[in-house]
Amino acid sequence: MKKYKAIIVSDLHLGIKDSRAKDFIDFLDAHPTDLLILNGDIVDGWALNRGSKWKNQHTKVISKLLKISNKTKIIWIRGNHDEFLTEFIGSHFGNIEIRENYKLETYNRINGDGWVPKHYFIFHGDVIDIFITKYKWLAKIGSIGYDFALWLNRWYNRYRAWRGLPYQSISQDIKAGVKAATNYINDFETAAIKMAEQNGCDGVICGHIHQPADLIINNKHYLNSGDWIENRTAILLDSQNKFRIFRL
């Protein structure tokens, strides 16, 4: 089985009904790695505070991560939904380290002769989201709206499955079709690249907006790990220092 140098995942939102816990465990079983980076919103504290029920399958994910940590280094970066981690930033729990952000070093081959170090700034993404930094109450209302869209997705796609039609995401269609949402994503990507520049890095890896991406913006590498609710995506870094987006 191929082993990866690093895997970056985000936005599992354990604690909500639509979190794909079993799929994520299967993914971990099939993709061993030297370094696992949990890039925020792994546990959805906001939803749990609203009364969402923690299920056995969510406990199984935490148990799986603890088991993996016996042999694998895990970096857990605080997100806005798992902001309860803030007081533990800098702490180590065995092989699990809680961080606000992280710098990942990779290497690029130059003309087939040698390797040049390349650095990526990894953070969840909420710190560049104006709705989180200045209008948190509005972000929490938006989170409730997203929960409703996911509920609507479930019933709509049960009907589509009954009709023999493929899965279709209502919330993804809204993001793709609303100009304001598109502008928000573009602004987010540009701001993320600025974070990389400010931290002396060649690229940036984030999550938060649930939009997997692998782009070059202003000569900088922008990667987004997406989510494990609808997209079920992750970023894989192989032994040859090549990034790719995994899609289930």
DSSP 128: G
Q: What is the pLDDT of residue 170?
A: 61
Strands (E) in 156-219, as ranges, are 203-206, 213-217
User: For residue 24, what are the contacts with CB-CB under 8 A and spacing of at least 6?
Assistant: 9, 12, 61, 228, 232
101-150 pLDDT, tens digit per residue, is 999 999 876 666 667 889 999 999 988 875 544 445 344 545 555 666 66
Q: What is the pLDDT of residue 150?
A: 66
Number of C-alpha atoms within 13 angstroms, CB side, residue 55? 13
Q: What is the pLDDT of residue 172?
A: 67
Q: What is the pLDDT of residue 2?
A: 83
Element (H, E) at 104: strand 102-110
Q: Is the pLDDT of residue 8 over 70?
A: yes
